[in-house]
Structure 1
Amino acid sequence: MTEAALPPIVDSHCHLDFPDFDGEHDALIARAHEAGVGRMVSICTTLAQEPTVRGLAEAHDSVFYAFGLHPMSVGKEPALTLDQILRIAQHPKLVGIGETGLDYHYTAETAAAQQDSLRLHIEAARQTRLPLIIHARDADEDMARILTEEHRAGAYSCVMHCFSSGAGLARAALDLGFYLSMSGIAAFPRSTELREIFAAAPVDRILVETDSPYLAPPPYRGKRNEPAYVAKTAAVGADLFGMEYADFARQTSANFDRLFWKAAQGDAA
């Protein structure tokens, strides 16, 4: 199948600034295009890296970016202010707020500070109308509670990035109108319960991502992940929803455009 014939798909979450990709960005993005990946969102997780990630987005038409302080970096990096996030969000290729969230697996000792940071990012998402990008690990109860409390205080949009939590958090997120994003984890053979959670969700609330350089789907598991491989995860998603790959690609791309409205506008321009 030629590049022109491939149905376009979006990698909604990758980390192109990570050292794993140093010196390879042109080739990496070219491979993504060859696999039908027409757009990708590179996620900036610290203030120090923002110029680098912004530069990648400025240099490549198909690359957009998001900015936030990763929960595992809370306590190690300077706390962000709302004004900092709002100022950076004015960039035309900045399309999302985060990733932010809660990670109690490795960094439970900063739980209180992570919660404060999460609420700050939520307020930025409200004020900008940009989607919040959530990282959640071993924190389902607190995550569901905070997302719900904050949504009652003022609506905002959100994607649960690389979703691999329990059914309860999935239901809470979907009830709030949020989106679930499939990563390579959903394609792992032992991820039966996770695939069941996705299959129970509305297909118009599903995104796909790589979270590259991590979590490569089969047949690349254990190797460095890259945006081109999102097509492998999407193939699993298509089977899960009983859809042709092209239809699933179109659906998830439409979902992305609905949530990441600024990227859709930029792409049209």
Structure 2
Amino acid sequence: MLVDSHCHLDFPDFAEDLDGIVSRARAAGIGRMVTISTRVRKLNQLLGIAERYDDVYCSVGTHPHNADEEDGISPEELIGLTGHPKVVALGEAGLDYFYDNGAPEAQARGFRAHIAAARATGLPLVIHTREADEDCGRILEEEAAKGSFRAVLHCYTGGRELALKAVSLGLYIGFTGILTFKKSETLRALAAELPSDRILVETDSPYLAPGKFRGKRNEPAYVVEVAKVLAETRGVSLEEISRQTTENFFRLFSKVKS
């Protein structure tokens, strides 16, 4: 079994084909899918999808692109929204300096609020970080000093230093179809180096289709292609990568039924 630890089933790209998306994932051996929140205010839409399928779960959080729109959401409000049995994580939250969406100050406030909620609930935080390694690493260290929390740096494309810092703090690293791109040699070298108990696979679908499907809409079934390249990169079998990443997933996303 494999798990897609990060997809966006509520996005319009999937609206007309949701049953097909889930059916193809199941046929490909994807045992669990987590559809990730980008706006707290749209949680009900995510819950509608998660409640429709036994093997689909969701998170609650504010993407850094929407930090201005949802600035001021407190840890207490986030905590209060995690009581539903299908809400298994916080986020995605974090820092994104690649696009000029969301003031950096609002992103940082949101990031810290989500970390506080993750610390209080014991649920993992799904972290989005892009072109913000220094600030992300600093916030992670400052917040870890206040008390431990669980998290994954999803769709990792950052530098080696941030990845190793995250792992040293007990966090996980998630890899997407970017790992399969021809120009991702540096990322593959990092993926080969990381501890086996700290790696996850994901699609971030409908975006970032693996090389085999480049240019097409991505979907959870394609996480198999990410796992294949991760296995090749680490010099192990697909079966071993499937076992290890799935074991890692259930350890991190411990609210998900195994």
* Secondary structure in structure 1 of the residue aligned to 2:58: strand
Shift >6 Å, 4+ stretches = none
Contact 1:203 1:241 (C-alpha < 8 Å) held by counterparts = no
Pairwise CA distance, 1:238: 0.7
Letter in 2 for 1:201: L
**CA 69–108 in structure 1, closer or farther in 2 if over 3 Å, else same:** closer
TM-score, scaled relative to structure 1: 0.94
Q: For residues 228-251 of structure 1, give each alpha carbon's deviation from its aligned partner in whole angstroms, at most 9, with x where no partner exists.
A: 000000000111111111111011
Matched residues in 1 for 2:191 and 2:131: separation?
19
* Secondary structure in structure 1 of the residue aligned to 2:213: coil
Contact 2:24 2:221 (C-alpha < 8 Å) held by counterparts = yes
Question: Residue 237 of structure 1: which of 230, 234, 240 is its match?
Answer: 230
**CA 109–173 in structure 1, closer or farther in 2 if over 3 Å, else same:** same
2:160 maps to what in 1? Answer: 167
2:52 maps to what in 1? Answer: 59
Letter in 1 for 2:39: T
* Secondary structure in structure 2 of the residue aligned to 1:114: helix
2:169 maps to what in 1? Answer: 176
1:132 maps to what in 2? Answer: 125
Matched residues in 2 for 1:13 and 1:77: separation?
21
Pairwise CA distance, 1:168: 1.0
Matched residues in 1 for 2:40 and 2:144: separation?
26
Q: Percent sequence identity over matched residues?
A: 48
1:110-259 matches, within 5 Å, as 110-259=103-252
1:46 maps to what in 2? Answer: 39
1:72-91 matches, within 5 Å, as 72-91=65-84
Pairwise CA distance, 1:48: 2.8
1:92 maps to what in 2? Answer: 85
Pairwise CA distance, 1:78: 4.9
Pairwise CA distance, 1:221: 0.8
Matched residues in 2 for 1:44 and 1:246: separation?
30
**CA 78–152 in structure 1, closer or farther in 2 if over 3 Å, else same:** closer
Pairwise CA distance, 1:9: 0.3
Q: Which runs of 5+ in 1 are unaligned?
A: 1-7
Contact 2:67 2:102 (C-alpha < 8 Å) held by counterparts = no
Matched residues in 1 for 2:100 and 2:43: separation?
23
TM-score, scaled relative to structure 2: 0.98
2:253 maps to what in 1? Answer: 260
1:5 maps to what in 2? Answer: none
Letter in 2 for 1:183: T
Letter in 2 for 1:170: A
Matched residues in 2 for 1:202 and 1:109: separation?
33
